[in-house]
Structure 1
Amino acid sequence: MKKTFYFLLTKSIGSYINFLGVVSPNKATQMAHGYFSQPRKGKFTIDTLPKTLKEAQSETIQHNDDVIQTYIWKGNETVIFLIHGWESNSSRWKKMLPHLKKSGSTIVAIDGPAQGLSSGKELTIIKYAEYIDIVSKKYQPNYMISHSMGGMTSIYYQYKYQNPTIKKIVTLGAPSDFTIILKNFTSLLSLSNKVVKSLEKKYTEFLNTNLDLISSKEFASKIDTKGLIVHDVEDKIVLFEEGKKIAESWKDVQFIETKGLGHKLHDDELYRKIYVFLFNPHPVQ
């Protein structure tokens, strides 16, 4: 019943945007952009803060008009930075945290734009990377662990900012090609070719580059940081082939293929392998 309702809702939204594409193209493009870039889940308030995050030291960073929410589990001078994905927040690390704490490291998690307690209405890799850079300048992280869109953002961040303190990056279920993400979205809403072309033009102008170049595999090919890519063969949110694309272009990377963990990739044995990758100089087996 829920799937039927969701299907009808998305098609209704798409039909309305297509109608606007005929009578008011600019409004249609703006509306489509809003649905594409604005998360509809992942926010919470102080009163509904998950227990996991209540146990951390909470710190809010004000930067111009942005409010960036961070959570810190204090440890030694080694810093691990956690980057969540789309329609999520820092509580997604609940199951991994006990494993990371064994290292004695300081752990810093961030709520991305428009997620958790951070401000904003839109979540894009460019804006997210700006948040990451602001927090990184303060905490000087050594390792980054990221999930889904957070994985794409962490690779983009290192490509753009070339942070020398980042020694290793772990990505979990990260997408590669922006064009595939956009195609999946426009197909879901059954947007007309006219609206799709207008949306592609908007992003090409905004990003000032060919959309084919907005890709984790392209970003990864230009960084020297050690990487660990984890992807599940049964991931239905971000296909396994996306992880393989990134792995093939990353100069210094290890690849872990899992089965049965889906997109969330919660698993104690996997966490152990991630721990070994971060703190053991030998390759993960």
Structure 2
Amino acid sequence: MTAADTADISPIARVSAKAPSFGERITQYGYRALYRLAPRAAGRRAADAFGFTRGYGLPVSDRVPLGARAMQIAGNPDIDRAYRWPGGAARALLVHGWGTDSSSMLGFVKPMQTLGLSVVAFDAPAHGISPGKHTTMTRFTRATGAVLDAVGGADVVIAHSLGSIAAISALAERGVRPRCVVLIAPTAALTGVLERWAQNDMALPRPIVDRIYAELLVRNGVPVSHWDIPARGGALDSPVLIVHDPDDPVVPYCEAQRVSEGLAHATLEPMPGCGHGRILSDAKVRERIFAFVKQHMSNLEERIA
């Protein structure tokens, strides 16, 4: 069996402390066998697995979410629409994490509308209704930027997990300064995600990992190290709230600590017992985010849309 015969395992979709299953051990063997025969092919195949987005097996529906209307997104080859909920001229952008879709962020729609904001969400490339099952951080970031362009910027940005890198990078590329930003269980850098996945989840030998880095450089157009929140967001002067479970089983708490230390106006608040995905629906987390956004929107005057 070669790696080409094995199943994809998403880099962010499984608990890192879990022992590898029989199928995952077979996958690890497949990569090693393929590397001995064709090192470059092994690197490409492993890079495919790292970019896999359908690890949760979520059902896909093209129905427009309740209360929203679909809006066209022009100029991006990976996504063609977003969803917009009515509100005031001020806008909130919701950015989901890797392997999920916009439905994971719907719990923030009503609270943001209550504060007078219109709300926008979208399915990232190869997520939800967007076609494909593999993507890159470059494509995720470009799609986020395309949505920002389509709606004329954002006053509030709320992002989860790996979506935090895409959100901060898109804001930095466009020089957009939101009134405030919320990062929920953020990953600080793509390098850490790759290293944990390759070493802990896949047990890949170093030569294959190095091949992944080389392949992702080709696919992204920039090195993996480029995707780093403190580096990309160093000039961001918006207030940032970071919420993260200290015992998050998917993204270590130290990632949030690094983000907090690297952004000029960031506040980190631990949220024990919320997990990585469940944190999005936790009542106290939503209340804290609502209070933070309300504080920073209180002086905002209505703009002409």
Equivalent pair of 1:168/1:225 in contact (CA under 8 Å): yes
In the alignment, which residue of structure 1 is the partner of 2:136? Answer: 124
Which position in structure 2 is the counterpart of 1:15? 29
Q: How does 1:121-200 map to 2 (within 5 A)?
A: 121-140=133-152, 141-164=154-177, 166-187=178-199, 188-200=201-213
| TM superposition shift of 1:57 | 1.0
Alpha-carbon distance, 1:27 to partner: 1.4
Between 225-234 and 92-101, the greater mean CA deviation after superposition: 92-101
Query: The residue matched to 1:244 in structure 2 has which SS?
Result: helix
Determine if contact 1:69/1:117 at 8 Å carries over to the other structure.
no
Q: 2:113 and 2:79 mapped to 1: Cα distance?
A: 27
Return the match for 2:268 from 245, 255, 262: 255
* CA shift for structure 1 position 175: 0.6
The question of whether the paired residues in 1 share the 8 Å contact of 2:112 and 2:118 is answered with no
User: For the Cα contact (< 8 Å) 1:44–1:116, is it kept in 2?
Assistant: yes
- In the alignment, structure 2 segments of 5+ residues that lack a partner are 1-14, 298-305
**1:231-270 alignment, distance < 5 Å:** 231-264=244-277, 265=279, 266-270=281-285
Aligned to 1:30: 44
Q: CA deviation at 1:120?
A: 3.5
Change (3 A) 1:207 1:189: same
Name the TM-score, length of structure 2 as normaliser.
Answer: 0.82
SS of 1:96 mapped into structure 2: helix
Q: 1:43 to 1:24 in 2, by over 3 A?
A: farther
Q: Decide whether the 8 Å contact of 2:73 with 2:150 is kept in 1.
A: no
- Gaps in structure 1 of 5+ consecutive residues: none
53-62 or 21-30, larger mean C-alpha shift: 53-62
Q: Normalising to structure 1: TM-score of the pair? A: 0.88
CA RMSD of aligned residues (A): 2.4
Once the 2 structures are TM-superposed, how far is the Cα of residue 213 of structure 1 from its aligned partner?
4.6
Quickly say closer, same or farther: Cα 1:191–1:281, change in 2 above 3 A.
closer
Q: CA deviation at 1:16?
A: 0.8
Asked if 1:93 corresponds to 2:108, the answer is: no
State the match for 1:75 in structure 2: 87
* 1:107 Cα offset (Å): 0.6
- Preserved contact between residue 245 and residue 274 of structure 2 (Cα < 8 Å): yes
Query: Partners of 1:281 and 1:44 in 2: how far apart?
Result: 35
- Checking the alignment, whether the CA contact within 8 Å between 2:179 and 2:296 is kept in structure 1 is no
CA distance in 1, matches of 2:76, 2:163: 23
3-state DSSP of counterpart to 1:254: strand
Q: Compared with structure 1, are the counterparts of its residues 178 and 281 closer, same or farther at alpha carbon in structure 2 (3 Å cutoff)?
A: closer
Q: Deviations over 1:207-227 (max 9, x none)?
A: 565544532222232322221
Q: Give, in angstroms, the shift of residue 235 of structure 1.
A: 0.5
How far residue 157 of structure 1 moved from its aligned partner, in angstroms, is 1.6
CA-CA distance at 1:163 after TM superposition: 1.8
2:245–2:273 contact (8 Å) kept in structure 1: yes
Partner of 1:230: 243
**In structure 1, what is the Cα distance between the partners aligned to 2:223 and 2:144?**
24
Deviation track 1:83-105 (CA, whole Å, cap 9, x = no partner) reads 00011011112333332221121
Give SS of 1:245's match. Answer: helix
- Residue 152 of structure 1 and its aligned partner are, at CA, apart by 1.7
Are the aligned partners of 1:79 and 1:106 in contact in 2 as well (CA < 8 Å)? yes
Deviation at 1:60, TM superposition (A): 4.0
CA spacing shift, 1:5–1:62, aligned 2, 3 Å? farther
Tell me which residue corresponds to 1:278: 293
The structure with the largest strand share of the pair is 1
1:118–1:69 distance in 2 versus 1, CA, 3 Å: farther
Aligned pair 1:113/2:128, yes or no?
A: no
